Amino acid sequence: MKAKVTKSFVGRRDDATVSETFKEGDIVEGELATVAVGLKTAEEIKPRDAAKIDKAQTKLDAVRQAHADAVAAHDAAAGDAKAAEQKKVDAAKKALDDAEADLAKLTD
């Protein structure tokens, strides 16, 4: 089962050894999702929607990494190269914003 957090709570993912704070909008799965739904701190995500959300989350993760790489390249650049790298950072930020919006549409 997958669920979207509707009220912040502290819990532990099924494969984790350390607890963490889950915020409103986070996606949880497995036994953690089942318990969170039972405690009314999350709402179940229907299986047909879960596949779309997985795809959007995978895309978001890749775009986040691309943005981080662009920022690192910008930070390492000097002189004229810094301006060119800033354009890449700006493009990566737009892609990140778009991917976050796509995921939000699926989970709202």
What is the pTM assigned to this prediction? 0.54
Q: What is the pLDDT of residue 108?
A: 67
- Distance between CA atoms of residues 44 and 50, nearest Å: 10
Give the residues across from 44 on adjacent strands: 3
pLDDT band at 24 (very low <50, low <70, confident <90, very high): very high
Predicted local distance difference test score (pLDDT) of residue 23: 95
- Residue 15, pLDDT > 80, answer yes
What is d(CA 80, CA 78) in angstroms, rounded to the nearest whole number? Answer: 6
Identify the pLDDT of residue 79. Answer: 81
Query: Regarding predicted confidence, which is higher, 108 or 82?
Result: 82
Q: What is the pLDDT of residue 104?
A: 84
Q: Work out the pLDDT band at 91, boundaries 50, 70, 90.
A: very high
* CA angle, 100 then 34 then 32, to 5°: 65
- Mean pLDDT score of the chain: 90
Whether 77 contacts 85, CB under 8 Å: yes
C-alpha 36/C-alpha 8 separation (Å) is 10
